[in-house]
């Protein structure tokens, strides 16, 4: 998919299909200019104009085939070229700067960039050598055409059948006829643009298919009773062991559920299934008895607010970063709620630092922009929390927090969860966290292990059961006890 996007957008060749109309117009102008030059020559001697028009018309098809073959080879080299630009990007993008400097990766990255780029361009270069050999043959034909045309003009001048003025007009026309069938940089770019059209067509076709998928006409409302995972199975398209095989879980509407498990147990994958970012490979997910696949995905996703571990950090204003739910093509929606924005930011602990930004709510949260500023990791996490809380205030009824406070200190985390239940009252809430001080506040806790829910109940019930949850809780409590100050109130 990324290879197709790179080809369709012209990211690697600077020539995308979107530029083809202008290139076609330019090529048409060139052909017309060459045809006019042939007509001008024909006004003096009809056979001279015909000679160049027919000659160039016969030469153009094989020349275009050579260009098309080269463009196809460049398109096939997209994976290598995309990898080469990835390595180059790592050498200068801010996100990679620290490790690149500390580990001295600059020369290595540029070396990999060079090797990948040369590997990708080797086939087009081999074809270019073939093109050069063919061009020499075509050059002999072109040379013969011009020798004949110039000879006829010289012969006419020798016999004084042509005036100096006419000769001065006809000589430039000889060179101008090249535009009838010769190739230029515009033709090279045009073939590269057209070579990417199949990728563009396939991408557009996929978008159309997704727009007409099952359930596109069924609106999704908020869950009134339950959300159920019924014998859900999932395996990643890349293969490997299944993440789930027969997972069963029930979420009671308006209640909170905490999900715990070891790293790699599939907690985040469960969230993506719930949000319909992925589809189960087996079983089904139902909302009040209706299969989630029978609902309009966009309508359902309006009911779900998610704070992901890898939430987005967008170069937008603070207001826009939080009010995602109300962003429209014309900017903030007409029903944008300033009061809800303030409450969400306050509940997430973001209100004070947002107001202190250089332009307050209108500050762009990214360096490199006028009056823009970057935020710390903890501040960005508060923005992401406020984003989900604002969506909940504006109609989303399912709130998912996937490691929501991982970048906050313990005091900030405690302050957030002290008001968490009040803020999310009436919402169906899922919290994923490794900190048991967080999950113990949920109405119910589910333990995910080896693709199944192995334990389910309240914190007290699971501790009393003495299972894996009790063991993990005891281990974490012991670590906190060892880290606590000795001999004090801590």
pLDDT score, position 194:
76
Distance CA 121, CA 114 (A): 10
In a domain, 217, yes or no: no
Of 145, 176, 206, the residue at which a domain comes to its end is 206
Q: The domain containing residue 164 runs over which residues?
A: 2-206
| The pLDDT of residue 318 is above 80 | yes
- The CA angle 431-438-261, to the nearest 5 degrees, is 60
Distances (CA, A) of 118 to 4, 73, 287: 20, 13, 53
The CB density around residue 360, as the number of other CB atoms within 10 Å, is 12
How confident is the model over 10-35, as pLDDT tens digits?
777 667 777 778 877 887 888 888 88
CB 16 within 8 A of CB 75: no
Same domain, 288 and 201: no
**How is residue 185 written in tokens?**
């940089």
Q: H/E/C letters for each residue in 390-418?
A: HHHHCCCCEEEEECCCCCCCHHHHHHHHH
Same domain, 342 and 200: no
Same domain, 131 and 279: no
Of 177, 206, 235, the residue at which a domain comes to its end is 206
The CB density around residue 482, as the number of other CB atoms within 10 Å, is 8
| The pLDDT of residue 63 is above 50 | yes
Same domain, 369 and 283: yes
CB 270 within 8 A of CB 448: yes
In a domain, 426, yes or no: yes
- Give the mean pLDDT of 237-241: 79
In a domain, 418, yes or no: yes
Tokens 């101008």 found at: 176
Of 206, 236, 251, the residue at which a domain comes to its end is 206
- Give the mean pLDDT of 436-447: 83
How confident is the model over 264-311, as pLDDT tens digits?
788 888 999 999 988 999 999 999 888 888 888 888 888 888 888 788
How confident is the model over 30-56, as pLDDT tens digits?
888 888 888 888 888 888 888 888 888
In a domain, 371, yes or no: yes
- Give the mean pLDDT of 222-228: 87
Ramachandran bin of 360, using left for φ above 0, alpha for ψ from -120 to 50, beta for the remaining angles: left
Same domain, 144 and 246: no
Number of domains in the chain: 2
Task: Name residues whose C-beta falls within 8 Å of residue 446's C-beta, 6 or more positions apart in sequence.
Answer: 249, 257, 258, 259, 260, 453, 455, 456
In a domain, 174, yes or no: yes
In a domain, 103, yes or no: yes
| The pLDDT of residue 126 is above 90 | no
| The pLDDT of residue 322 is above 90 | yes
Detail the DSSP E strand segments found in 261-311: 282-287, 290-291, 304-307
In a domain, 365, yes or no: yes
| The pLDDT of residue 490 is above 70 | no
The CB density around residue 294, as the number of other CB atoms within 10 Å, is 14
Same domain, 183 and 89: yes
Same domain, 328 and 469: yes
Same domain, 232 and 197: no
Same domain, 279 and 173: no
Indicate the helix (H) or strand (E) that contains 82.
helix 78-90
| The pLDDT of residue 488 is above 50 | no
DSSP label of 317 = B
| The pLDDT of residue 173 is above 80 | yes
Give percent of the chain with pLDDT exceeding 70: 89
User: In this structure, what CATH number is given to the domain that contains residue 233?
Assistant: 3.40.50.300
Identify the three-state secondary structure at position 99: helix
How far is CA 360 from its chain centroid?
Answer: 29
In a domain, 409, yes or no: yes
CB 347 within 8 A of CB 397: no
Same domain, 313 and 282: yes
Same domain, 154 and 18: yes
pLDDT score, position 339:
92
Same domain, 192 and 254: no
pLDDT score, position 415:
66
pTM: 0.68
**How is residue 387 written in tokens?**
């984003």
The CB density around residue 80, as the number of other CB atoms within 10 Å, is 18
How confident is the model over 330-382, as pLDDT tens digits?
667 667 789 999 999 998 889 999 999 999 999 999 888 888 898 988 889 88
Indicate the helix (H) or strand (E) that contains 332.
strand 331-332
């Amino acid at each position: 998919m990324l290879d197709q996007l790179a080809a369709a957008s012209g990211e690697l060749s600077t020539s995308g299909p979107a530029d083809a109309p202008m290139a076609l117009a330019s090529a048409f102008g060139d052909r017309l200019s060459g045809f006019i030059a042939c007509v001008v020559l024909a006004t003096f001697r009809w056979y001279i104009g015909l000679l160049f028009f027919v000659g160039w018309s016969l030469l153009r098809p094989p020349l275009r085939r050579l260009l098309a073959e080269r463009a196809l080879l460049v398109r096939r080299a997209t994976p290598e070229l995309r990898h080469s630009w990835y390595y180059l990007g790592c050498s200068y993008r801010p996100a990679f700067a620290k490790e690149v400097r500390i580990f001295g990766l600059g020369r290595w990255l540029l070396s990999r960039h060079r090797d990948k780029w040369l590997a990708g361009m080797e086939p087009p270069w081999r074809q270019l050598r073939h093109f050069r050999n063919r061009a020499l043959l075509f050059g002999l034909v072109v040379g013969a055409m011009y020798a004949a045309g110039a000879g006829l003009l010289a012969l006419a001048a020798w016999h004084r059948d042509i005036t100096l003025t006419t000769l001065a007009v006809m000589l430039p026309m000889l060179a101008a006829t090249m535009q009838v069938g010769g190739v230029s940089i515009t033709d090279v770019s045009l073939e590269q643009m057209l070579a990417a059209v199949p990728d563009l067509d396939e991408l557009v076709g996929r978008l159309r298919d997704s727009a007409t998928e099952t359930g596109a006409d069924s609106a999704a409302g908020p869950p009134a009773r339950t959300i159920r995972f019924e014998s859900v199975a999932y395996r990643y398209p890349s293969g490997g062991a299944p993440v789930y095989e027969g997972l069963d879980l029930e979420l009671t509407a308006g209640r909170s559920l905490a999900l715990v498990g070891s790293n790699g147990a599939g907690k985040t994958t469960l969230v993506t299934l719930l949000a319909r970012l992925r589809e189960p490979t087996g079983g089904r997910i139902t909302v009040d008895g209706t299969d989630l696949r029978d609902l309009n995905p966009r309508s359902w996703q309006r009911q779900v607010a998610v704070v992901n571990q890898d939430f987005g950090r967008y170069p937008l204003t603070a207001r826009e970063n939080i009010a995602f739910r109300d962003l429209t093509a014309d900017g903030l929606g007409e029903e944008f709620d300033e009061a809800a924005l303030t409450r969400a930011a306050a509940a997430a602990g973001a209100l004070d630092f947002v107001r202190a930004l250089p332009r307050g709510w209108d500050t762009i949260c990214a360096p490199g922009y006028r009056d823009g500023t970057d935020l710390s990791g903890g501040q960005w996490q508060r923005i992401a929390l406020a984003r989900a809380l604002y969506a909940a205030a504006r109609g989303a009824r399912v709130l998912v927090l996937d490691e929501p406070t991982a970048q906050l200190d313990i005091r900030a985390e405690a302050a957030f969860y002290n008001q968490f239940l009040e803020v999310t009252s009436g919402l169906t809430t899922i919290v994923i966290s490794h900190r048991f001080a967080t999950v113990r506040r949920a109405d119910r806790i589910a333990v995910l292990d080896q693709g199944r829910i192995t334990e389910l109940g309240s914190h007290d019930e699971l501790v009393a059961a003495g299972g894996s949850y009790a063991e993990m809780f005891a281990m974490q409590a012991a670590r906190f006890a060892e880290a606590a100050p000795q001999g004090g109130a801590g």
